[in-house]
């Protein structure tokens, strides 16, 4: 068997090096042009499924934003405005929602386990099948909120206003609301 000695042209090596540099430059520009999730949220008012874990969102006006299915674990929402925001399916475990305006917001199927909702206002918000396991819920306004099938297992609930709230099927630390629901409650949960 004959062996062929190949000589690599210096021009070929130079060409491959130039190609590598060009690809690196293009990928760097693509990364630089993609906004970080917070910038995207603030500029487009939408960040579906994005990762904002640990974000400092204190006092932000996030009214009407779409954060559905977003990772918001350990995020700080102190005094943020979440009125009419869409957070369905969001992961808000260990989040701080102290003094939040969450009126009429959609938290359906969200995870608020271990969250702190101290003095939050969630009047008219929806929390269908939302998990509040071991959450701190103190002086919270849930007036007229939909909390059907919500899970409050081991949550600490102190001086909280549930007037007019729909609790059909909710698991509460001090009561069981898994009874047969009225037709009106069932229809409200389905909407």
Enter the tokens of residue 25: 């430059």
Q: Do 177 and 144 sit in the same domain of this protein?
A: yes
For the segment 84-103, the average pLDDT, to the nearest whole number, is: 98
Q: Do 80 and 144 sit in the same domain of this protein?
A: yes
- Cα R_g (the chain), whole angstroms: 25
pLDDT of 16 above 60: no
Please say whether the beta carbons of 57 and 75 come within 8 A.
yes
Count of structural domains within the chain: 2
Query: C-alpha distances in angstroms, 185 versus 64, 94, 141, 182?
Result: 26, 30, 20, 5
What pLDDT shows up at residue 24?
A: 47
Q: Residue 174: which pLDDT band, with cuts at 50, 70 and 90?
A: confident
Domain range enclosing 123: 48-191
Distance of alpha carbon 112 from alpha carbon 136, whole angstroms: 10
Q: Do 21 and 55 sit in the same domain of this protein?
A: no
Q: pLDDT digit string (tens) for 109-168?
A: 999 999 999 999 999 999 999 999 999 999 999 999 999 999 999 999 999 999 999 998
pLDDT of 30 above 80: no
CATH code assigned at 148: 2.160.20.80
Note whether residue 1 is domain-resident. Answer: no
Q: Global pTM?
A: 0.78
Q: Do 14 and 71 sit in the same domain of this protein?
A: no
Q: Do 75 and 28 sit in the same domain of this protein?
A: no
Per the prediction, the chain carries an average pLDDT of 85
Please say whether the beta carbons of 79 and 60 come within 8 A.
no
DSSP state of 160: -
* Best CA proximity match to 36, nearest among 21, 54, 24: 54
Torsion from C-alpha of 152, 180, 103, 59, nearest 10 degrees: 10
Q: Do 100 and 14 sit in the same domain of this protein?
A: no
Distance of alpha carbon 156 from alpha carbon 16, whole angstroms: 64
């Amino acid at each position: 068997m004959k062996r062929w000695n190949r000589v690599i042209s210096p021009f070929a090596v130079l060409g491959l090096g130039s190609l590598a540099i060009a690809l690196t430059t293009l990928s760097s520009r693509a990364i630089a042009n993609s906004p970080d999730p917070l910038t995207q949220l603030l500029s487009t008012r939408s960040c579906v499924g994005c990762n904002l874990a640990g974000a400092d969102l204190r006092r932000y006006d996030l009214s009407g934003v779409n954060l559905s299915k977003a990772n918001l674990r350990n995020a700080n929402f102190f005094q943020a405005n979440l009125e009419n925001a869409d957070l369905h399916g969001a992961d808000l475990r260990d989040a701080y929602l102290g003094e939040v305006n969450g009126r009429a917001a959609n938290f359906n199927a969200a995870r608020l386990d271990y969250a702190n909702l101290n003095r939050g206002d969630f009047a008219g918000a929806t929390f269908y099948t939302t998990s509040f396991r071991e959450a701190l819920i103190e002086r919270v306004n849930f007036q007229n909120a939909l909390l059907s099938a919500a899970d409050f297992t081991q949550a600490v609930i102190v001086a909280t206003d549930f007037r007019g709230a729909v609790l059909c099927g909710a698991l509460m630390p001090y009561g069981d609301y898994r009874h047969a629901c009225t037709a009106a409650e069932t229809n409200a949960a389905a909407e």
